[in-house]
Amino acid sequence: MSKELLGALSALEEEKGIKKEVVIEALEAALVSAYKRNYGQAQNVEVSFDDKKGEMHVYAVKTVVDDVVDDQLQVSLDEALEINKGYELGDEIKFEVTPKNFGRIAAQTAKQVIMQRVREAERENVFDEYSKYEDELVTGTVERQDTRFVYVNLGKVEAVMGSKDQMPNEVYRPQDRIKVYVTKVENATKGPQVFVSRTATGMLKRLFEQEVPEIYDGTVEIVSIAREAGDRAKVAVRSNNSDIDPVGTAVGPRGQRVQTIVNELHGENMDIVEWDEDDASYIANSLNPAEVIDVIFDDDNERACTVIVPDYQLSLAIGKKGQNARLAAKLTGFKIDIKSETEAKEILANKAAAASDDTEADEASDQGDQTEDSTEDAPTDGADVNTNPDESNEDTQD
């Protein structure tokens, strides 16, 4: 080992970001293994690497004792005092035992171990770097695609995008530059594994933060997002400044801000609605662009309601294949049942009629009960006829 090794260590630190101390530690561990394997020494061996001169030294560590039982592990107190008068029983002394040909043997034996430790250090370095990007938006290059994943090059690592994270309205071709949202970073056996998505709601939030300074700085807040990626999304916003319109701010002048996001997502439609602390108002807003007449909450389920809309807006409120109602339910967290005004009136009329029938039935039942009570209390016809057999015989004889 020489100055060439020191140069190599410096190059590793500069080019791959691996600290010199990490490689030296791996090198010393590898040299201990090499020495033991080639010279059959006990476990009391230490290897020291001089990072200034590029030299290695092997030491046998021995414990100071009264009576030496194993001279490879122990040294007598008398011998220790000859080296240094300050040694006492129990102290450890290092004796250099570096073989002349150790450099060649160590280089051959330790190479595999050193490379393994270098790879581990590289992986750890990459993991530390990309774990900082979890839940963030990054830009990468599409490399290839198979039946399971789209592989995206992020620079030092190849990220994977599963089928559920791919936009149904997009085609990914090699060398395409795309923005992706980092959902998870794992330190796997084969190295750091980065998972990315273009369908996650978090990606939509980050895109709005990029395009709308007021959302980035917290003046306008995204409260909730409901998304069917590639088709349509609803975003509920509120303002922390009474002078700022949250919806207008998110949409931007002439819709420029939201249009930039729509373009990035290749035509995914956006509904920006205002969040309201009043649940009825919030639910009505969430069904935008449909007009809402009334919101009636379910007495038996506090997270369910019926929404009344004009007859001509029923299909708009429900949306194509129920999408508008479905997204509104996801956005607000309420189970939403949508009824037209006419249908609602019919339901109310039927309920009123049923209630009236029940009332009449109850009244009739009450009257019936009263009639039965009167019959029981009234005297029976012929009540003065004597039904006593003895008295009847007496009358006949007279």
Tell whether 125 and 7 lie within a shared domain: yes
Determine the 3-state secondary structure of 282 from DSSP: helix
- CB-facing half-sphere around the CA of 347: CA atoms within 13 A: 9
Share of the chain residues as helix, strand and coil, in percent rounded to the nearest 5: 45, 25, 30
Stretch 117-135: mean pLDDT: 84
Tell whether 9 and 115 lie within a shared domain: yes
User: What's the confidence (pLDDT) of residue 110?
Assistant: 57
User: What's the confidence (pLDDT) of residue 385?
Assistant: 34
Total structural domains within the chain: 4
User: What's the confidence (pLDDT) of residue 366?
Assistant: 57
Domain boundary among 251, 275, 299: 275
Judge contact between 5 and 56, C-beta under 8 A. Answer: no
Widest Cα–Cα separation across the chain: 160
Instruction: Specify the CATH number for the domain of residue 93.
Output: 3.30.1480.10
Tell whether 140 and 97 lie within a shared domain: no
Classify strands 158-162 and 149-153 as parallel, antiparallel or unpaired. antiparallel
Q: State how far Cα 203 lies from the chain centre.
A: 12
Q: Examine residue 331 and state whether it is found in any structural domain, yes or no.
A: yes
Q: Examine residue 43 and state whether it is found in any structural domain, yes or no.
A: yes
User: What's the confidence (pLDDT) of residue 95?
Assistant: 84
Instruction: Specify the CATH number for the domain of residue 163.
Output: 2.40.50.140
Tell whether 192 and 218 lie within a shared domain: no
Q: Smallest Cα–Cα separation from 288: which of 327, 345, 257?
A: 327
Domain boundary among 129, 152, 184: 129
Judge contact between 122 and 26, C-beta under 8 A. Answer: no
User: What's the confidence (pLDDT) of residue 282?
Assistant: 97
Determine the 3-state secondary structure of 130 from DSSP: helix
Judge contact between 9 and 52, C-beta under 8 A. Answer: no
Mean pLDDT (the chain) is: 84
Residue 317, pLDDT > 70, answer yes
User: What dihedral angle (degrees, nearest 10) is formed by the CA atoms of 354, 359, 361, 363?
Assistant: -170
User: What's the confidence (pLDDT) of residue 115?
Assistant: 76
Q: Examine residue 361 and state whether it is found in any structural domain, yes or no.
A: no
Q: For 230-260, write each residue's pLDDT tens digit.
A: 999 999 999 999 999 999 999 999 999 999 9
Q: Examine residue 383 and state whether it is found in any structural domain, yes or no.
A: no
Stretch 141-164: mean pLDDT: 93
48 vs 270: which has the higher pLDDT: 270
Q: How confident is the model at residue 362 (pLDDT cuts 50, 70, 90)?
A: low
Residue 394, pLDDT > 50, answer no
Tell whether 45 and 116 lie within a shared domain: yes
Q: Examine residue 280 and state whether it is found in any structural domain, yes or no.
A: no
Element (DSSP H or E) covering residue 63 = strand 55-65
Q: Examine residue 60 and state whether it is found in any structural domain, yes or no.
A: yes
Tell whether 120 and 9 lie within a shared domain: yes
Stretch 177-182: mean pLDDT: 96
- Can you tell me the distance from the alpha carbon of 133 to that of 130, in angstroms, rounded to the nearest whole number? 5
Q: Examine residue 368 and state whether it is found in any structural domain, yes or no.
A: no
Tell whether 77 and 148 lie within a shared domain: no
The answer to which of 258-272, 326-340, 358-372 has the lowest mean pLDDT is: 358-372
Residue 213, pLDDT > 70, answer yes
Tell whether 54 and 103 lie within a shared domain: yes
Determine the 3-state secondary structure of 72 from DSSP: coil
Helix axes 102-131 and 20-39, enclosed angle (nearest 10): 140
Judge contact between 1 and 20, C-beta under 8 A. Answer: no
Judge contact between 97 and 38, C-beta under 8 A. Answer: no
- CB-facing half-sphere around the CA of 77: CA atoms within 13 A: 7
- Can you tell me the distance from the alpha carbon of 114 to that of 17, in angstroms, rounded to the nearest whole number? 16
Element (DSSP H or E) covering residue 106 = helix 102-131
Residue 25, pLDDT > 70, answer yes
In this structure, the number of other CB atoms found within 10 A of the CB of residue 273 comes to: 24
55 vs 272: which has the higher pLDDT: 272
Residue 386, pLDDT > 50, answer no
Residue range of the domain that includes 256? 212-275
Q: Examine residue 203 and state whether it is found in any structural domain, yes or no.
A: no
Stretch 390-394: mean pLDDT: 41
- Can you tell me the distance from the alpha carbon of 296 to that of 351, in angstroms, rounded to the nearest whole number? 15
User: Does this model's pTM top 0.85?
Assistant: no
Share of the chain above pLDDT 90, in %: 50
Stretch 266-284: mean pLDDT: 96
Helix axes 20-39 and 3-16, enclosed angle (nearest 10): 130
User: What's the confidence (pLDDT) of residue 378?
Assistant: 46
Tell whether 266 and 162 lie within a shared domain: no
Tell whether 123 and 139 lie within a shared domain: no
Instruction: Specify the CATH number for the domain of residue 341.
Output: 3.30.300.20
Tokens of 163: 């089928």
Classify strands 304-309 and 335-340 as parallel, antiparallel or unpaired. parallel
Classify strands 177-188 and 158-162 as parallel, antiparallel or unpaired. unpaired
User: What's the confidence (pLDDT) of residue 379?
Assistant: 47
Q: State how far Cα 246 lies from the chain centre.
A: 27
Tell whether 137 and 233 lie within a shared domain: no
Tell whether 112 and 169 lie within a shared domain: no
Classify strands 269-274 and 220-228 as parallel, antiparallel or unpaired. unpaired
- Can you tell me the distance from the alpha carbon of 253 to that of 224, in angstroms, rounded to the nearest whole number? 23
Q: Smallest Cα–Cα separation from 136: which of 184, 193, 170, 199?
A: 184
